[in-house]
Copies of this chain bind each other. A is one copy, B any other.
Amino acid sequence: MNDALARALRDAVGPAHLLTDPGDLAGYASDGRGVTGQPLGVVRPASAQEIAAVLRAAHAAGVRVVPQGARTGLVAAGIPGAEADLLVLNLDRLARAPAIDPVNRTAEVDAGVRLSALNAAALPHSLSFPIDLGADPSIGGMIAANTGGARLLRYGDVRRNLLALEVVTSEAEPRVLQLGAPLWKNNTGIDLKQLLVGSSGALGVVTRATLALSPLASTRVTAMLALDRDETAVDLLLALEASFGTLLTAFEGISAPALDAALTHVPRLRDPFAGKRPAYAVLVELSAGAAFDVEWLEERLGDTLAPWMERGAVVDAMLDRRDDLWAIRHAVPEGLRASGKVVACDIALRRGDVMRFRRDVAARVEAVAPQLRLHDFGHIGDGGLHFNLVWPPEAGPFDPAVAEAARATVFRAVVGEYGGSFSAEHGIGPSNAAWYTELVPEPVRSLSGAVQRLLAPVPVGRVDFHDPVQGDRA
């Protein structure tokens, strides 16, 4: 970094918050997936005004800035590349205590606040921000990725729970814009804040948001069901929706190999089926407010399941009131990693296509990559599927080219033949930018690029939506 830029950045954020020492940089250079880059430097502002000053200085020096949250993302959108030419703008210090408005059921939150911290602040008011994820991301990162998670069926994604944003534009002269208001109803023209949601940090730096909170679902029942076959899952989903409507909070599917991997490799788990592995398992959650009691919910769930069990479509049903069954669901990724090298495909389908796709495309993957074994799991309730493939040690050394061929088979089939999505909930970043270029139609990319240039005429972040930064496809 040249001296003039370093001086300007120190002026902007204070000398303690510009990191340039290689030892200090390491912690900001990689993410949970193991993607590692090389920052030119790391700057840690504490306010929107400091961010505007950082952007101004970086723009003057011709240095591109990458906004970075909690590095829990799965597409490397907040991680610098290998060339040590990008300035990391880490938002951890943008983390004042969330301002909860319990009557309005909203929270004003700085972008650097973690999801867990927001929920801790909401809990005393019996409220929650109901996006449920395995990780603990920052709010800014959640907005940049439009995270979905396991309870989207009831609560929607981040977009659905976002009322207002504060954003610093990436212009030659950066501005702090307020978009939206802390209101549930508000239709006063084009809703510009929507552009920032799922934009991977490429349209500006989100610094603060007003989020909708939900009443805490204080009464909760979870069931793990063993099914006779995978197709039963979708029929059962429809039956539960008809019975329980919005009380159905989650409907998660776990394939036999994925369940086996979790129960085999994650020792803390208790096997709910006592060794008899089902053809397909689903985790069902019903939850409701204080007017309900758990016994009543369990009874009603039992009533709905009874005919399914009588005819053998539901082979076994384990109920609990704690988190043991969720622990199994959340342990699946760990189980997969312990089983071999994971080739992840975060896809979405129409719900009615999910099971057909699994069979159809598993067979095609086997043809191009016989070393890989399908260990899929995911959010059957919303059509989101982690169509993950495992390369076990006994298949010999991992071959990236074979893995790449497998992912190409999956992504081309899901988009080209099934009209599905190659990125259900992880967003776009260097990890899948090449797929974006191949699979998103040109008119959409070109219009997206134009929108991006409008809000961020000086490029920011890792993605260009017209002509994405070409990353790896893994």
Inter-chain contact A192/B448, CB cutoff 8 Å: yes
- Of A131-139, A156-164, A328-336, the one contacting chain B is A156-164
A419-450: CB near B (< 8 Å → 1, else 0) gives 11111111110000000100111011101101
Contact B241 A215 (CB under 8 A): yes
A341 within 8 A of B: no
Q: Of B183, B241, B351, B463, which one neighbours A289 at CB under 8 angstroms?
A: B241
Q: A4 → chain B, closest Cβ, in Å?
A: 30
Given contacts A187-B426, A189-B428, A192-B448, contact A181 B288 (CB under 8 A): no
Are A185 and B427 in contact (CB-based, < 8 A)?
A: no
Contact present for B424 and A186 (CB under 8 Å): yes
List, in ascending order, chain B residues with CB within 8 A of A145's CB. 187
State in angstroms the CA–CA spacing of A425 and B183 once bound together: 11
> Chain B residues near A245 (CB, 8 Å)?
214-215, 217, 287-289
Task: State the CA gap A215–B245 with chains docked (Å).
Answer: 6
CB contacts (< 8 Å) of A426 on chain B: these are 187
Cα of A103 to Cα of B380 in the assembled complex, Å: 11
Q: Does B182 lie within 8 Å of A425, measured CB to CB?
A: no
A80 within 8 A of B: no
Q: Is the CB of B188 within 8 A of A422?
A: yes
Residues of B within 8 A of A384 (CB): 184-185
User: Which residues of chain B have C-beta atoms less than 8 A from A422's C-beta?
Assistant: 188
In this assembly, does A243 line the interface, its C-beta being within 8 Å of a C-beta of chain B?
Answer: yes
**Residue A69 interfacial (CB < 8 Å):** no
Which residue in B102, B197, B244 is a CB contact (below 8 Å) of A238? Answer: B102
Report A195-211 CB contacts with B as 1/0, cut-off 8 Å. Answer: 10111000100000000
In the complex, the answer to whether A103 meets B350 with C-beta atoms within 8 Å is: yes
- Return the contact of A192 from the options B157, B447, B455 (Cβ within 8 A): B447
Contact (Cβ within 8 A) B424 A187? yes
Whether B148 lies near A185 (C-beta < 8 A) is: yes
A101 CB–B CB distance under 8 Å: yes
A379 beta carbon closer than 8 Å to chain B: yes
- Is B185 a contact partner of A382 (Cβ separation < 8 A)? yes
Instruction: Give residues of chain A (329-379) contacting chain B, Cβ–Cβ below 8 Å.
Output: 348-352, 379
- Asked if residues A160 and B160 are in contact (CB atoms below 8 Å), the reply is yes
Q: A157-B185, A181-B419 are in contact. Are A191 and B192 (CB under 8 A)?
A: no
Nearest CB on B from A24, distance (A): 32
Residues of B within 8 A of A247 (CB): 246-247, 288-289
A interface list, Cβ under 8 A from B: 101-106, 126, 145-146, 148, 152-154, 156-157, 159-160, 175, 177-179, 181-192, 194-195, 197-199, 203, 214-215, 217, 234, 238, 241-247, 287-292, 300, 303-304, 348-352, 379, 382-384, 419-428, 436, 439-441, 443-445, 447-448, 450-452, 454-455, 463, 465
Q: List 10 A-B contacts (CB under 8 A).
A: A145-B187, A182-B419, A183-B424, A188-B423, A189-B436, A190-B198, A192-B447, A192-B448, A217-B245, A243-B290
Extra inter-chain contacts (17) besides given A190-B448, A246-B247, CB under 8 Å: A103-B238, A105-B241, A106-B350, A126-B242, A146-B187, A157-B185, A181-B420, A184-B382, A185-B379, A185-B383, A185-B424, A187-B428, A188-B422, A189-B199, A190-B198, A190-B451, A194-B197
